[in-house]
A and B are shown apart, each in its own frame.
Chain A
Amino acid sequence: MLTKIHGNKPLQMAAGLGIGFLFGFLLQKGNVTEYDVIIGQLLFQDFTVIKIMVTAIVTGMIGVHLLRDLGLAQLHPKPGSLGMTLVGGLIFGVGFAVVGYCPGTITAAVAQGKLDALIGGLVGILIGAGLYAHAFPWVARVMLPKGDFGPLTFPEFFKMNHWRIIIPLAVILISLLAVLEGAGL
């Protein structure tokens, strides 16, 4: 039944829209459409972003692996390499601090009326992404293959059952949240 749903294009477009709607609603309710909140996180003064992301990761990690064990979901880990993930991540991080939004939160910020997000940041992302499409042949030949590890996951890397990683990791992440709350952050 699920494969039938996955193959229905109009239904999938509607599902994408609906999932995006909920995601955007939550981002706005979480206040991460605010430049001040994102910069506050990068300066370690406001931990809203970390709290949201860590809770989402713990929930999603348990949920998706449970669904996978039940045969209701499949994993789609992205490939990576040092030349791709680390170098691209550094460029992204610079932009993250300078614009004070990321591609998802900027979209939500635009919808709320943030003009620096629309006229500045969103236009910039479109230019940057378009420039990358032109730079891609060189990047793909020279940079992306460096230190390639492919679509590797930690359970594959450690050759362990995924729950032996998920449970301790969930404990560590929840403890981190408890420490933040305990410190009054």
Chain B
Amino acid sequence: MFELLAMTEWSPYVVGLGIGLVSCAAFVLSDKPIGCSTAFVRTSGMLEEMYRGRQVREMPYYRQFLPEIDWEWMLVLGIVFGSFTSAALSGELHLEWVPSRWAAAFGGNPVWRLLTALIGGIFLGFGARWAGGCTSGHGISGTLQLAVSGWLAVCTFFAAGAAVAFLLYGG
């Protein structure tokens, strides 16, 4: 059992099967589909509230998504613990500034990688809330419910992502 948990990699089919079963568990135990991106906007609201006070809660978006810790926020916190545990068991906890593929194409300077990741992150956070979900909420939970929004979203995510990746890496 320990050897299995200490493996650095599981077959993608085992992982996918596991995520499918965990999704089922979320529906039964919590009556909720798995998703991640609302936790980020709630956190942004909490941070903004620390500076601007309770008027932040009057913003129309934060009336829909209260800047508070909820089920999905706990799920995202759980991801941190789960991934940390998995990486600790397999000896994969390392601090890394620049991914190797990035370094091979654009050099090892962390400043450029951090700036690019920051800009990418802004698009990701803005786009996820605009689309009403991310690769989890639309890409897995939406598609498995046969939601039109989920299938359209995931196709758009990957089409736009592939186009930009080819631009960045020059085909």
Name A residues whose Cβ lies closer than 8 Å to a Cβ of B: 2, 5-6, 12-31, 33-36, 39-40, 42-44, 48, 51-61, 63-64, 67, 72-80, 84-117, 119-137, 139-140, 143, 149, 151-155, 157, 162, 165-166, 169, 177
Interface of A is mostly: helix
A175 → B minimal CB distance (Å): 14
Pull 23 A–B residue pairs with CB atoms less than 8 Å apart, ordered by A. Answer: A19-B78, A20-B77, A21-B81, A22-B82, A29-B86, A43-B165, A60-B141, A61-B20, A63-B21, A75-B145, A80-B148, A84-B131, A85-B156, A89-B156, A97-B164, A113-B95, A121-B121, A121-B124, A127-B121, A131-B126, A139-B130, A143-B130, A153-B148
Provided the pairs A91-B130, A103-B128, A153-B146 are in contact, do residues A119 and B83 lie with their beta carbons within 8 angstroms? no
Instruction: Tell me if B50 is interfacial: C-beta within 8 Å of chain A.
Output: no
Q: Are B118 and A121 in contact (CB under 8 A)?
A: yes
Task: Find B27's partner among A16, A64, A90, A143 (CB 8 Å cutoff).
Answer: A64
Interface centre among A54, A73, A75, A96 (most CB of B within 10 A): A96
Contact call B40/A126, Cβ cutoff below 8 A: yes
Task: Give chain A nearest CB distance to B22 CB in angstroms.
Answer: 5
Instruction: Across the interface, name the chain A residue whose C-beta is closest to B129.
Output: A132
B residues contacting the other copy or chain, number (CB 8 A): 127
Which positions 121-140 of chain B face chain A at CB distance < 8 Å?
121-140
Interchain CB contact under 8 A, B117 and A120: yes
* B50 vs chain A, min Cβ distance (A): 12
Contact A100 B102 (CB under 8 A): yes
**Residue from A6, A14, A124, A162 within 8 A of B124 (CB atoms):** A124
Nearest chain A residue, comparing its CB with the CB of B157: A93
Is A54 a contact of B16 with CB atoms below 8 Å? yes
Given known A39-B165, A119-B114, contact A111–B83 (CB-CB < 8 A): yes
Separation of A86 and B6 alpha carbons in the complex (Å): 40
